[in-house]
Amino acid sequence: MKVQNKIIIVTGGGSGMGRELVLNLLSKNATVVAIDINNTALKETVLLAGDKKSFLHSFVVDITDKKAVEEFRDKVIIQLGFVDGIINNAGIIQPFIKINDLPYETIERVMNVNFYGTLYMTKAFLPHLLTRPEAHIVNTSSMGGFLPVPGQTIYGASKAAVKLLTEGLHSELMDTNVSVTVVFPGAINTNIMKNSGLSMPQKSSTENKSMKILSAAKAAQIIIDGMEQNRYRVLVGEDAKFMDSLYRLNPAYAAKLIYSKMKEHLKN
């Protein structure tokens, strides 16, 4: 679905990749509805929109609150008339600790934001999207959604759930006007750590130099291109592409490789 002249919702639009998705869509002459739980961050996104800000509508919404999501749906359709697409981008990670040490309240928060937030948005808007001449749903999974990352196991489980939800939805909507795309970002330069209320252990200078981290703006461009091409799945970053191929070829080796990269962060 070409985004020009379409109305598209972006969750987590206040910062990071979500903000860049908003700005990219505006540059392509889409009308954007940015939602976030952080009103200050949303106001910053509006300022960055510059002369495109008249095409940007912002709402503070807690996507883990099913009733709030449904109220938002009603409000935005009344205000704008219709919606053509959703990019479910909002997400958080967990502390870099093992399941054995992870409290249930943290597990539930990660699942609520990453999986249920995506599900609530999808369920709320799908009946409306099915009435549009064409529509599109983009759900953001993760490289951690198809291979194990120790210390991020619950995050990975939530993103694996998003992966299967999206792929199942794609199959269910195959004969409809609604296209569906699942996105697997690798390492992206965003503030997801800060937004998740976490701090990452310091890396060595050697490790920092060896890591290839994609900018949030480039990641957004890849995602929007995939949306416009009606891609089934979009791998964002060379690391995501490489690990996707390696995990298909030899999942045990891929798991050991990731463990070797992460084990320093799991020391108590």
Beta pairing, strands 85-88 & 214-215 = unpaired
CA 249 – CA 206 distance, rounded (Å) = 28
Active site residues: 155
- With residue 21 as reference, give the H or E element that holds it: helix 16-27
Burial status of residue 183 (CB atoms within 10 A of its CB: 0-12, 13-18, 19 or more): buried
pTM: 0.91
Whether the pLDDT of residue 2 is over 90: the answer is yes
Q: What is the CATH number of domain 7-266?
A: 3.40.50.720
- Give the pLDDT score at 264: 83
Whether the pLDDT of residue 202 is over 50: the answer is no
- Give the pLDDT score at 216: 95
CA 147 – CA 144 distance, rounded (Å) = 5
Reported confidence tier of residue 126, pLDDT bands at 50, 70, 90: very high
List pLDDT tens digits, range 129-156. 999 999 999 999 999 999 999 999 999 9
List pLDDT tens digits, range 207-255. 444 457 899 999 999 999 999 999 999 999 999 999 999 999 999 999 9
Any idea which residue has 């993103």 for tokens? 159
DSSP character at residue 141: -
- Give the pLDDT score at 42: 98
Whether the pLDDT of residue 203 is over 60: the answer is no
**Closest among 227, 238, 64 to 143, alpha carbons compared:** 238
* Sequence spans of domains, the chain: 7-266
